[in-house]
Every structure is written in structure tokens, then in C-alpha cells.
Amino acid sequence: MAFDNSNKENEERTASDHIGQIFTSLVEDERALVSLIEEHTKQLNRFVGKHADFPTDPSPDDIQALAKSNDMFLNTVFMKQWLQVKKVEALLQIWETSLKEEDDIYHQEE
């Protein structure tokens, strides 16, 4: 994503424009997370096998290590998603405030 550092352009942008840019960044983060989850799923499928036949003949220790790794991965995903929700909630509050302020400014100019 390219950001323009031009002061003139930034002065012309509204708070809603900047918030939209942040939302776009959050969407890109979500897409990256989807890719990680898909890759993790492929890894689990290779380990377990198409018919749950464990083609690599893993030892109980291998299975336990995979379960622990999977647990850590899922906890990380859940924490990341929780943070994303908090970011969205905060942005929505900021957006509502900025819309009200922009509306107040507009009505003052009339």
C-alpha cells in the first residue's frame, strides 16, 4: 500500500478518509491471516492424511507435539481476532465522532 506524504493532499482529506484507509489496512491483515490459516490447515491435512490414516506413521510424541502446536496457533489466531474486533470498535467510535464534528462544521458554514 502506498501512502502519499503530501501535506496538501493530507489537509484535503477528511477524518473519514483516514479511517477508511485504516479499515483497508485491517482488511489486508485479515486476508493475510486467512492465508496463514489455509496453510496451517493444509499442514494438518498432510499430517493426518486424506482418510485419517496418518501416512507419515507419527509417534504419539509427534501427535502430541502437533496438538500443542495447533493449540498455540489457534490461541494466537483468537487473540489476533480479538484485537481486530477492538480496533474496529474503536474506529467506529472515532468515525461516529468525526461524522458528528464534520456535520457540525457543515451546519456552521451555512
Contacts of 54 (CB under 8 A, 6+ apart): 47, 48
**pLDDT (tens digit per residue) in 64-97:** 999 999 999 999 999 999 999 999 999 999 888 8
**pLDDT (tens digit per residue) in 11-35:** 678 888 888 999 999 999 999 999 9
The pLDDT value recorded for residue 11 is: 65
Q: Is the pTM of this model over 0.85?
A: no
Neighbours of 63 (CB within 10 A): 13
Least confident of 4-8, 27-31, 59-63, 67-71: 4-8
